[in-house]
Amino acid sequence: MRFNKPLLAAGLLLSLAALNAEATLTSYTSAGKNLVYSSIGGVTWTADANLLGTLEASNANLINTIISTIGSITDTPNIFDIPVNSGSHTLNTGDFGTNGAVSWFGAQAFTKYLNSINYAGSNQWALPAAGITPIGYSHPFTSFGQLFYNELGGTASNNIPNTANFINEQASAYWLATEADFIPDLAYLFNTSNGGLGDVDYKYKLLYAWAVSPGQVAAVPVPGAIWLMVTGLVGLLGLKRRGLAR
């Protein structure tokens, strides 16, 4: 059997291009925890988009543990500080709702808690940043915007798509790390029920928290599809060397 080299090369290039498009999100495990690495955003997401809710369901004392471990959140002085306008908010049970819903302070505390336990081998967990154009649709320069629009294939005014990479995506809103510079009583959010809309809300509102860590938390294994392709190429070369592929 004689192989057409130009066709073979073109096929391989197309295969690599397809694999590259699919490999922007890579699911893997680090320290027994499920993670997803984004090669576009250059960050690692928890595979569970409502990790706090999942952890709460298995640990009835988790919220008390977070409150006692973290204690308070430092921010720009505002009316929701405890004491008011002190630049520090003392955490309390009101910052935590049910099924993972949290205030902006609770969301910050959750990421700090993940760092305190070195979750999945990282102590750099944080909320995604709001970026330079945090209000409105389409956020090409933020990790959340890139995830929603470029990697999950989300569209404006539609709910966040459910994909094989993640679980428990909430069609609601997620807190971002950034306080509103014009009114420090507010913080930015990414709305996933009104497809990719960046907005602001009062810090006491109960929304959701999705943690990211910069770069790769641990070495990401080569996706299985690439291994299969490489194995096939090696086998093909072996056959040709033995004169079986002519």
Starting at the earlier edge strand, list the strands of the sheet with 212-214.
25-30, 33-38, 43-46, 212-214
For residue 16, how far is the Cα from the chain centroid? 25
Do the Cβ atoms of 110 and 101 come closer than 8 Å? Answer: no
What whole-number distance in Å separates Cα of residue 102 and Cα of residue 66?
Answer: 12
pLDDT tens for 115-160 read 999 999 999 999 999 988 788 887 767 889 889 988 998 888 889 9
**Is residue 200 predicted with pLDDT exceeding 50?**
yes
pLDDT at 219: 59
**Is residue 245 predicted with pLDDT exceeding 70?**
no
**Choice between 239 and 190, residue whose per-residue pLDDT is larger:** 190
Whether the model clears a pTM of 0.85, i.e. scores above it, the answer is no
Provide CB contacts within 8 A for 123, sequence distance 6+. 115, 116
61-78 per-residue burial string, b: 16 or more CB within 10 A, e: under 16: ebbeebbeebebbebeeb
Q: Any idea which of 113-117, 198-202, 233-237 has the lowest mean pLDDT?
A: 233-237
pLDDT tens for 51-100 read 999 999 999 999 999 999 999 999 999 999 999 999 999 999 999 999 99
pLDDT at 86: 96
C-alpha closest to that of 75 among 112, 101, 119, 50: 112
Q: Say whether 76 sits in a helix, a strand or coil.
A: coil
Burial class (CB in 10 A: 0-12, 13-18, 19+), 187: buried
Do the Cβ atoms of 135 and 180 come closer than 8 Å? Answer: no
What is the pLDDT confidence band of residue 221, given thresholds at 50, 70 and 90?
low
pLDDT at 230: 42
What whole-number distance in Å separates Cα of residue 181 and Cα of residue 188?
Answer: 10
